[in-house]
Chains A and B, each alone.
Chain A
Amino acid sequence: MTAAVVRRLLQAVMVMLAMTVIVFIAINVIGDPVDILISPDADQIERARVVQALGLDLPLWQQYLRFLWAALHGDLGESYVYNEPAIRVILERLPATLELAVAAILIAIVVGVPLGLYAGLRPDGILTRVIMTVSILGFSLPTFWVGLVLIMFFGVQLGWLPSGGRGQTAELFGVQWAFLTKDGLAHLILPAVNLALFDACLILRLTRAGVAEVLPLDFVKFARAKGLKETRVIGVHVSKNIMIPVVTIIGLEFGSIVAFSVVTESVFSWPGMGKLIIDSINVLDRPIITAYLMATVAFFVIINLVVDLTYTALDPRVRLQGEGP
């Protein structure tokens, strides 16, 4: 087990390294930040001074090595805009995105799994047809549009919920969280629901497909033949067998939500990482973009590791390499 985890971590480091190369080159292609950073009236000498201060006069490979060396020391550069270490700017925004993502995934699971189970157990029910139709809408409608509709309906027309921002926050473990205050929670609901919609539908459909697949299998019939209560047959025998694809999707989608909640955060002006990255791309704030992408990759790697470990807990036939039988 330990050997397997260590091997996975080494793989993760290689992935991160490959990522730095891609990110670094890509970012140099998309534009020259100097044009944006320096006021148009600045003279040539001033311009050269800034270019040199940022190290942009060096050949690309030297810039890369300098970046890599600094990155190894935990320094991903200083934001051109905020004049703060990029990693700190990102981490400041991380809790907002994280709580939004966690809330969204929780909503998706709480809605998706039970409805999927219901639809799988009653494939011909009228309610099942309603659920399945709505779920198609759920992942066909564009997120930004649904977000706008939510704002219009609940924010503007009914006036029940605030339509943007993060509201009041409270401190926990030295970090500001919105979900701890009533106001913050109210602000959290709409963006979380908006973000959850797609994944709830995805989880729902996966669960339903899993139930339909597992239900006719002999072991379910045998479980019934043993005289088990239906709650145990479904709750243990069926559920545990359908959880593997569901866990995979939850893991992947959690990463996606954290990394790319750009749209929802923009629509609801949620001050998270997604909004930050869009702003930073607009002003070509290279260190922020780089740090953001690195953080995202690291996040995905961690999630994948957790998902793999969860598999072994769910399915004894899946064993990580390096572990004895």
Chain B
Amino acid sequence: MKDTAKDYSHIKGWGVDADPKNDPTYPMKHRNDGEQAGYSWERPPQQPTTVEVLHSIERPNVTAVFGTSTPPSGLSGMIRRIAFKDSESSYGHWLPLMLADRVNMVEGVLDDLMHGHVPNIVGELGWKAEWKHNRTKLVRRVLVRVALVSTAVAYLRSRRDDS
């Protein structure tokens, strides 16, 4: 490990009880001289930025590589851009991202429809597997939901008739 004692020689007793074996991060962390070197390593080449990449305000730059799977777009993208103005330690960051995810889900359905594709939501939910392996519970679940919706509709209709 780097000898930094001379930097603190004016402090009486500095480091006299230091014990490299007393390291709760062992063996996950291989200590080296990089401990106090800061952000000084030779960075890998930078991946060209061909899509919009949002980066945490807790770092100064975009990492050398990054994913390009699904750049921000539409209303959800606008919400994500706002979220990235706050730090990772803020609800102002994470809650808008959760909201954006839900908006993005609706955008996904609309995008499917605009491309002439009607999403097979039952198939996407994997209900074929439920039907094969868990039929009784699936049927019960569907019946309960149908009953709840029917009751709610009947209730609303009766209120409308009363008024």
Are A and B co-members of a single complex?
no
Using a CB–CB cutoff of 8 Å, the interface residues on chain A facing chain B are none
